[in-house]
Amino acid sequence: MSKRRVVVTGIGALTPIGNTVDEFWNGLMTGKSGAGLITKFDTAEFTTKFACELKGFNPDDFLDKKESKRMDPYTQYSMSTAKMAIEDSEIVLENVDRERFGVIYGSGIGGMQTFEAQTKNYLEGGPRKISPFFVPMMISDIAAGQISIRYGLKGPNYATTSACATSGSAITDAFMHIQRGTVDLMLCGGAEAAITPMSIGGFNAARALSTWNDRFLEASRPYDKDRNGFVMGEGSGTLILEEYGHAIKRGAKIYAELIGFGATGDAYHITAPAPNGEGAFRAMKLAIKDGEIDITDVDHINTHGTSTDLGDLNETIAVKNVFGEHAYKISVNSTKSMTGHLLGAAGAVEAIATILALKNGIVPPTINLDEPSPECDLDYTPKIAKKRDINFALNNTFGFGGHNSSLLFKKYEG
């Protein structure tokens, strides 16, 4: 069975550096840091007191007030970017077969804010104080369900959860459904709203977060010798994937083509990457093979690049092992230096950054990269965006538990 071509025809983004796609892209181009002191709770007793929060987001701009009150913030974020992406795609829903339009939408953690609030209600007032909406607000599949209900999308409908690879997995599954011919359109992505006491406290306990409270704007510094942990972020990214012929027939604008994926498991450790990035290596190799291109065709990689010691080192080794000498000709970057780590939303938000880099011929920078570690010797696009004609680009996301996702995008020439 021949593979059907898959293109990206709509995008929506809600990030710590911009609440629209245009604001997000402008933030990337200017090297904007989304970091700031946490405003969502009192951090007096916490080791880390900063994160990359959304700024100025109002769910009432996208949702009915009564409706939004019955949603965890992560679902509010997903509904908002889903609306953006559908509007951007200019799809007239009445003109498409909604039984062939599906939703795959993930969250690494789900409704953490709802869980903590309802736990507090229980501890203070007993089980009668638990909201009847507690479970449907908390569960990590409900964003996919709510999007499907809102737009009447009756194709495949489910969530992915693979930690920080979550929305990379969602995009992968959506891609395969279209290639197989199950559907013509898929709305996919991820959302996260985990800047909460338990999340920050938990990641602090695991010594995963940066503790540069007096230098928070510089704290997310992938590949730098002084990196000391990631910076928590929040937000959402949504993509509309569409079968090429379907998109052409309706006169859709096309951002890029998705041509390959690699999905692997480390089978090694609950948090640490496999030695030498072995799982990441195989994911990138598989994506390139699936896309039927040569390694020398790849111009750009938006890396996972979390600003952790082991993660950045092992991903660098993996890139060098995949590409050999060509690794030094690739423009590499980590947009997490600006957005922080959006956990389950990272893959979708960074896929959008990768797609826009292809479309615009500009590689976003890795900010705060003052002096790379000796072992980190690739072209990480330090501090300033770089113009470059990009024909093929990879987007990597890797998650706790050894989940690895690599997506291969191709420039669309029309």
Neighbouring C-beta atoms of residue 219, cutoff 10 Å: 28
Among residues 247, 190, 187, 251, the alpha carbon closest in space to that of 7 is found at 247
Region 174-190: mean pLDDT is 98
Distance of CA 38 to the CA centre of its chain: 21
Spatial separation of the C-alpha atoms in residues 166 and 173, rounded to whole Å: 11
Binned at pLDDT 50, 70 and 90, residue 363 comes out as: very high
Spatial separation of the C-alpha atoms in residues 34 and 51, rounded to whole Å: 8
Region 223-236: mean pLDDT is 98
Same fold, 7-249 and 263-406: yes
pTM (two decimals): 0.97
Spatial separation of the C-alpha atoms in residues 203 and 209, rounded to whole Å: 6
Residue ranges of E strands in 244-346: 256-265, 300-302, 331-333
Whether 52 is a known active-site residue: answer no
pLDDT, tens digit (0-9, with 9 covering 90-100), for 307-348? 999 999 999 999 999 999 999 999 999 999 999 999 999 999
Is residue 27's pLDDT more than 90?
Answer: yes
Which of 164, 177, 246, 376 does the annotation list as catalytic?
A: 164
Provide the pLDDT for residue 323. Answer: 98
Binned at pLDDT 50, 70 and 90, residue 211 comes out as: very high
Region 174-182: mean pLDDT is 97
Spell out the domain ranges in the chain.
7-249, 263-406
Q: What are phi and psi of 78, to 5 degrees?
A: -65, -40
pLDDT, tens digit (0-9, with 9 covering 90-100), for 74-125? 999 999 999 999 999 999 999 999 999 999 999 999 999 999 999 999 999 9
CATH architecture of 7-249: 3-Layer(aba) Sandwich (3.40)
Which of 177, 246, 300, 341 does the annotation list as catalytic?
A: 341
Region 44-55: mean pLDDT is 98
Is residue 1's pLDDT more than 80?
Answer: no
How much of the chain, in percent, has pLDDT values that exceed 90? 99
Task: Report the phi/psi class of residue 389: left, alpha or beta, with left for phi > 0 and alpha for psi in -120 to 50.
Answer: beta
Binned at pLDDT 50, 70 and 90, residue 292 comes out as: very high
Spatial separation of the C-alpha atoms in residues 118 and 37, rounded to whole Å: 25
Whether 164 is a known active-site residue: answer yes
Provide the pLDDT for residue 3. Answer: 87
CATH architecture of 263-406: 3-Layer(aba) Sandwich (3.40)
Is residue 139's pLDDT more than 90?
Answer: yes
Provide the pLDDT for residue 149. Answer: 98
Look at the block and give the residue holding tokens 């990359």: 52
